[in-house]
Amino acid sequence: MKRVLVIAFLALAAVLLAGCGGKKTTSTTSSGPITSASDNAIYERAFSECSSTSMKDLAGKYHVATVTPDNVAQAVGAAWSDRFHGDSRSTAIGISGCHDGLAQRPSSSNSA
């Protein structure tokens, strides 16, 4: 009888320990793209400028001939990317920042 109890105890212990063991791997990094400090600055500057400056003034400052939100965002994003020595990805981040800034304007129009 003692032998059966010992075997039962060992079997129970093995089952319990099997559930507790093993290496649990969890990722502490996000799966999204990693941006540099300069990319963050490019986005923030483009966002701020496009959300607070009129399209007309932005077009004049960045020499945009045909004033559309896309053309202005391209010019602003490229200028901030150049300022921070960015690459084509940095320019795209700047363009995105400007578009987001234009969308945050109080009026629904981007021409204000």
The pLDDT-based confidence of 35 (bands split at 50, 70, 90) is confident
Region 68-80: mean pLDDT is 97
CA distance 72 to 93: 14
CA distance 28 to 33: 14
Collapse the DSSP code of 30 into the 3-class scheme (helix H, G, I; strand E, B; otherwise coil) and give the result.
Answer: coil
pLDDT digits (tens, 9 = 90+) for 2-14: 665 546 555 555 6
pLDDT digits (tens, 9 = 90+) for 40-61: 999 999 999 999 999 999 999 9
